[in-house]
Amino acid sequence: MSSLNVSAVDSEKTAVAAEPQTPYADGFRHNWTKREILAFFDLPLMDLLFQAQTVHREYFDPNRIQLSQLCSIKTGGCPEDCKYCPQSSRYQTDVDAERLMAVEKVLEGARNAKANGATRYCMGAAWRSPKGRDMAAVTDMIKGVKDLGLESCMTLGMLDADQAAALKKAGLDYYNHNVDSSPEYYKEIITTRTYEDRLNTLENVRGAGINVCSGGIVGMGETKEDRAGMLQTLANLPTHPGSVPINMLVQVEGTPLYGEGQMDPFDFIRTIAVARLLMPASYVRLSAGREAMSDEMQAMCFMAGANSIFYGEKLLTTSNPLQNTDLELFARLGITPEGQ
C-alpha cells in the first residue's frame, strides 16, 4: 500500500507522508481530485522524481523491466477519425489497408517475440470494434499465444460484454483500450466515438475478468490540466489498469496532428512520474515515441517509474528502437528484463 499523502505535497513540497489515504478496498485511492494531481505536476522536477521513485520501489524492483511486443494483426482502413492515427481511412498516409493476418503468421511473430525476450504479445487491429466473423480467428490467436507461454493482449476497438466474455474464455490476459486524453480534450481528437464509449468498453473488459491496459497520448497540443485529467480518469477507475501505456505523439505526415509543436521532454517525464504516483502498482509503459527519445530521457522515464516498454522494431505502423539498442541501454543502466 502506498504511503503517499498528497495533502502533504500541498503543504510541504517534498513530503512522502506516513498517513495513507486509502478509502477503497484494494488499498489504493480512486478519488483523486484535479487539484491534487496538478499539485504533483507543479512540484520541482527533482522532488517529483524522488517521490515517484520512492513509491516505485515499494511495489517494484527498480532495475527490472517488462517487455511487450506489438503485432498489427489488421492494419489500416479504420473508419474512426483519431487525429493522430495513420491507420484512419480518412487521412492520406503511407499506411495501406490490409486484411486480418492469418493465425499462423501471427503465431510465427509470437514465437520470434518470445525468442527475443518478450513476455507479453500484444495484437492490435484497426477496427471500430470486432465483427462476429472475426472472433474465431482472434480467439485462435489468443489460444496460440497462450500455448507458447506468453501473456496475451489484444486491442480491437470497442467491445460489448459478450465479446469480452469470448476473449476471456479464449484465455486473454489483457485488453488495451486507451482513454487517449482528458474528457475535455478528447473531443478535439476523436469525434466518431465518445469518451463514454471508451469507459463502457473498459467496464465490459473488467466485468469479463480481463486485466485492463489503458493509458493515453501526450504531445497532442493538450494542456497540463488535460494530462492531469487523463491520469485522473485512469486512477479513479474502480480498479487501476494493470498496465498504463503513456505514448508520446509520433507525428505522421497526412494526419491532422502532423506539424503539432513538440512537447517539452520534461513534461513527458512528469506525466510518467505522476502516473506512477497515482497508480503505484500498475506497470507504466513507455510506448510510442521512444525512437525520438534520447537514452538519457528514457533513463529519466525509468527513474520516474516507467517499468515496461514496447519492444521490437515496429509498433503498429511506426518504427521503434532496434532490439539491440534497447538491450545495450538496459545493460548500461543495469536493468534486467523480466523473465530473464
- Given the rule CB under 6 A, which of 78-86, 115-123, 292-300, 329-337 is the region that contacts ligand SF4? 78-86
Residue 71 assigned as binding residue: no
Among 307, 313, 318, 271, which Cα is nearest to 330's? 307
**Annotation says 285 is catalytic:** yes
The torsion region of residue 171 among left (phi > 0), alpha (psi -120 to 50) and beta comes to: left
Among 315, 337, 317, 338, which Cα is nearest to 326's? 337
**Annotation says 85 is catalytic:** yes
Q: Which of residues 138-177 bind ligand SF4 (CB under 6 A)?
A: 157
Specify the 3-state DSSP secondary structure of 24. Answer: coil
Q: Is 78 in the site for ligand SF4 (CB under 6 A)?
A: yes
Would you say 77 or 242 has its CB closer to ligand SF4? 77
Which candidate in 120, 193, 198, 213 is catalytic? 213
Beta-bridge mates of residue 283:
243
**Annotation says 82 is catalytic:** yes
Quote the least distance from Cβ 80 to ligand SF4, whole Å.
Answer: 4
CA dihedral 230, 234, 238, 241 (to 10 degrees): 170
Burial class (CB in 10 A: 0-12, 13-18, 19+), 154: buried
Residues in contact with ligand SF4, counted by CB under 6 A, come to a total of 8
Residue 301 assigned as binding residue: no
**Annotation says 153 is catalytic:** yes
Which candidate in 71, 120, 122, 276 is catalytic? 122
Q: Is 232 in the site for ligand SF4 (CB under 6 A)?
A: no
CA-to-CA distance for 280 and 335, rounded, in angstroms?
20
Collect all residues with Cβ–Cβ distance below 8 Å to 35 and sequence separation of at least 6.
none
For 193, the grid coordinates are 466515438
Q: Which of residues 186-215 bind ligand SF4 (CB under 6 A)?
A: none
Residue 213 assigned as binding residue: yes
Q: Mask: binding to ligand SF4, 38-77, rule CB under 6 A, as x and -?
A: ----------------------------------------
Among 88, 85, 15, 94, which Cα is nearest to 50's? 15
Q: Taking every pair of C-alpha atoms in the chain, what is the biggest distance, in angstroms? A: 58
Binding residues for [4Fe-4S] cluster: 78, 82, 85
Which amino acids are annotated catalytic? 78, 82, 85, 122, 153, 213, 285
Residue ranges binding ligand SF4 (CB under 6 A): 78, 80, 82, 85, 87-88, 126, 157
Binding residues: 78, 82, 85, 122, 153, 213, 285
